[in-house]
Amino acid sequence: MEILKTVSEMQAWSDNIHQKGNQICLVPTMGYFHEGHLSLMEKGKKICSDLVVSLFVNPTQFSENEDLDSYPANIERDVKLAEKKGVSVIFMPDKKEIYPDRFQTYVELTELPAHLCGLSRPVHFRGVATVVTKLFNIVKPDVAVFGSKDFQQLQIIRRMVKDLNYNIKIVECPIVREDDGLAMSSRNAYLSPEQRLSALCLSKSLEKAEAMIEKGEIRTSTVKKELENYIKSFPFTKIDYISICDPETLDEIGDINSADTACPLLIAVAVYVGKTRLIDNRIINPGQ
């Protein structure tokens, strides 16, 4: 496995692979690997013989008040784990390599970021779209793998690939969870043991919503109210959003009825547990 740190080295490596007629798969990450990241690598390795994992804590997707400076890291461990998964290259650039002095070009979507996480993280998706565009131009992948844990991000990347005519196949990987249902996240490391218990409110509330809708509840306002009360019953929690929406447009759904409701539906939640902001989601198919 090679560790490459500059844009020119990475581009030259990719050109060489393509000249040999091979395809490249990219898994973009911010590091501090858990089983979720490793599942993306496994999937990528099955699709392409040459797998590039980028490890870059992207400053432009964090607001001033967020956790850029404290984001967890363990590069030595990450390198070992990636090597075990058969990764060909870890691309680990410096911030200056990606954002040189006088950098001023950003990629911004007009509609999808105006929902869910974009409402409380105003610069987040501009940062994500910009860094992923740059990674696509640097790594030149044929395939890129993203987790549905960050569902809005996945939809934004899919839209961006269409809008900007990238010839890159986007592959989705399901959410990997701890045994008790908590979605794996690098940020789970911030939780105290008591907060870790409260963090279960996210996955449990999604199960609850699905059960209510399966039993025939058609008013999304009723489902959301029930979830709000449920989540509030856990200590240390503060709700950012509870959403029941169309998975493609991310527009909120009013009442669920078979005639005009998008099917499937996305149920998504974001909750602060202490100072840690956690997200989770679930796709459901009402009436099926």
Contact residues for ligand AMP (CB under 6 A)? 29-30, 36-37, 39-40, 146-147, 149-150, 173, 175-176, 183-186
For 124, the token pair is: 């987040």
Query: Nearest residue by C-beta to ligand AMP?
Result: 147
| Residues in contact with 13: Cβ distance below 8 Å, sequence separation at least 6, in sequence order | 2, 4, 89
Alpha-carbon dihedral sign for residues 216, 199, 73, 128: positive
How far out from the chain centre does Cα 51 lie?
19
Active site residue 37: yes
Q: Please report how close the Cβ of residue 225 comes to ligand AMP at its closest, in angstroms.
A: 28
Q: Please report how close the Cβ of residue 28 comes to ligand AMP at its closest, in angstroms.
A: 6
Q: Please report how close the Cβ of residue 33 comes to ligand AMP at its closest, in angstroms.
A: 8
| Residue bearing tokens 């078979």 | 258
1 C-beta neighbours (distance < 10 Å), count: 15
Closest CB to ligand AMP among residues 213, 269: 269
Q: Please report how close the Cβ of residue 191 comes to ligand AMP at its closest, in angstroms.
A: 15
Closest CB to ligand AMP among residues 200, 212: 200
Closest CB to ligand AMP among residues 183, 256: 183
Give the integer Cα–Cα distance in Å for 222 and 213: 10
Closest CB to ligand AMP among residues 78, 142: 78
Q: Please report how close the Cβ of residue 43 comes to ligand AMP at its closest, in angstroms.
A: 10
Give the integer Cα–Cα distance in Å for 12 and 6: 10
Exposed e or buried b per residue across 183-214, where buried means at least 16 C-beta atoms within 10 angstroms of its C-beta: bbbbbbebbeeebbbbbebbbbbbebbbebbe
| Residue bearing tokens 């009360």 | 229
Selected catalytic residue, list 34, 37, 115, 124: 37
Closest CB to ligand AMP among residues 37, 204: 37
Ranges of H-type helices in 5-150: 7-19, 35-47, 75-84, 95-98, 116-120, 124-139
Q: Which residues sit opposite 171 in a β-bridge?
A: 145
Residues annotated catalytic, as ranges: 37
